[in-house]
Amino acid sequence: MGFLGSLSIIIPTYNRENFVKRTLSYWSGKEPVIIVLDGSTKALSDEFLKSLEKNIYYLHFPNLSFQQRLSQLDNLIETKYCMLHADDEIFLLSGLSRCIEEIESNNLICCLGRCLEFEYADKQIITKPWNPLHTSFDGYSLLDDSPIVRIFKHMHPYLCSTVYAVTKTENFLNNISCHVDDKIENLFFEISYELSSAFQGKSKVINELSWLRSNENTPHYTKDKRKGKRTKETYQIIMESDFKTNPVITKIAKHLHDLDNNYSVKLLGEIVFSALKSYAYHANFTIKTANFFKTNNIEESQDKIVLKKLLGWTPPFMNKNDCKNLSNTSKKWREIGVQSNTNEINYIEYFINGFYK
C-alpha cells in the first residue's frame, strides 16, 4: 500500500462528535494525511486530540459554512492525491491504494472503488451493496476524450462517482473552488463538484471495495427538511420553469471557463443548463417511480421489470441472510468479482463492533 503516503483525506464534520472520533481513531497512525474541518460549535477535546498520531490535522471553524471550510484547504494539501470523506463512514486502505494505482496506470484524474452501505442493528453490522437510485456503480466510467461528452454522459443517468473518489490534488482543488452557495447546506455542491470533475478529465469506478457508506445517522439535509429549512431538493429547483435564469448556471459555466477557456461562457452555460435539466428529469422520474412502487406495493410484473431496467436499477443478488455482517457480504461480493482484503474486512468489523460495545 505504498501509494497511500501520497494521499490526503479531507473530513468535514458537523455535530457528530462520537462518529468523527471513531473515524479519527481508525485513521490515526495510518499512512494518509488526515485533515479535519470541524464546523461544530464545540471543538473536540485536547485530551482526545493528543491521543492521535501526527498524521491527523484538526481544524475548528465553528462560524464557517461547509464551502467556506473547504476554501481553507488551498495552502494545506501537500500530497499528490486527496479525497473527501464523510465523518461517519469508513474507507478501505486496500481499495484506496488500488484507486491510485488505476489513476497512475490509465491517466485518470480520479477513481472510486465499489461501495457497501452499512448500519448497526440487533447488535450486529448489517451490510449490503449500495445501489444508488439513478444508476449502478458496476462498470461505470467516464472515459471519453471530449469534456462536453463526459458532462452529458455523467448527468444522464447521474452517479456520484467522483465526489468521494481519490483525486489528483490539482483537480480536487479546482472542484471545490466552484463557489455556488455559501449557505450551511450547499444544495449544488455535489453537482458542481461532479460537473467540474467530468469536465477536467477521465474517471472510472473499479471492482475493488473501497467505501463503506454509513446509514447510522440521519443526514443533515434530511433534518433540515423536517424542520422546514429545506423545502425543495436540487432536482426540483432545476425543474422549475425559471431555472434558466438561476445564477447557479452562470457560476458553474464561469468556473468551467476558468478551467478551460477554449469554451465560451455562453456555450458552457447552455451545456450546464441542458445537462442539469437532463439530470433533474431523470431524477424526478426515478424518485417518483420508486415512491409509486413503494407506496402502492406493486407486485413484480413484466412492466415493472422493464421500468426498473430503464431506471438503471440492478436486481439484488443477495438475500437478507447474506447481509448479516461485513465479512459475509464482502465474501459474496468477491464471488462475483468485486475484490477486497479479507484481513482488512475482519479488522473493520472488529473496529465497528467495538465502537458500539
Q: Are 243 and 114 in contact (CB under 8 A)?
A: no
Contacts of 271 (CB under 8 A, 6+ apart): 148, 151, 152, 253, 263
Q: Are 4 and 97 in contact (CB under 8 A)?
A: yes
What residues form DSSP beta bridges with 208?
339
pLDDT surpassing 80 at residue 115? yes
pLDDT surpassing 70 at residue 147? yes
Same domain for 84 and 136: no
CA–CA distance, 88 with 91 (Å, rounded to integer): 10
Looking at this protein, which amino acid is placed at residue 245?
A: T
Domain end marker among 54, 88, 122:
88
Rounded to two decimals, what is the model's pTM?
0.92
Same domain for 287 and 252: yes
- The residue segments making up the domain with residue 267 are 89-356
Same domain for 95 and 74: no
Same domain for 78 and 94: no
CA–CA distance, 16 with 85 (Å, rounded to integer): 14
Confidence of residue 300 (pLDDT cuts 50, 70, 90): confident
Q: Which three cell numbers stand for residue 227?
A: 424542520
Same domain for 138 and 99: yes
CA–CA distance, 60 with 70 (Å, rounded to integer): 12
Q: What is the pLDDT of residue 224?
A: 60
Contacts of 60 (CB under 8 A, 6+ apart): 38, 40, 43, 44
* Percent of the chain whose predicted confidence (pLDDT) is above 90: 71
Same domain for 166 and 20: no
Q: What is the mean pLDDT of the chain?
A: 90
Q: Is 110 left (phi over 0), alpha (psi -120 to 50) or beta?
A: beta
| CA-based end-to-end distance of the chain | 30
3-state secondary structure of 38: strand
Residue 207: how many other CB atoms lie within 10 Å: 17
Same domain for 308 and 175: yes
Confidence of residue 77 (pLDDT cuts 50, 70, 90): very high
Same domain for 195 and 168: yes
Do the domain assignments include residue 1?
Answer: no
pLDDT surpassing 90 at residue 75? no
How far are the Cα atoms of 44, 206, 316 from residue 330, in angstroms, in the given order?
Answer: 33, 15, 14
Do the domain assignments include residue 43?
Answer: yes
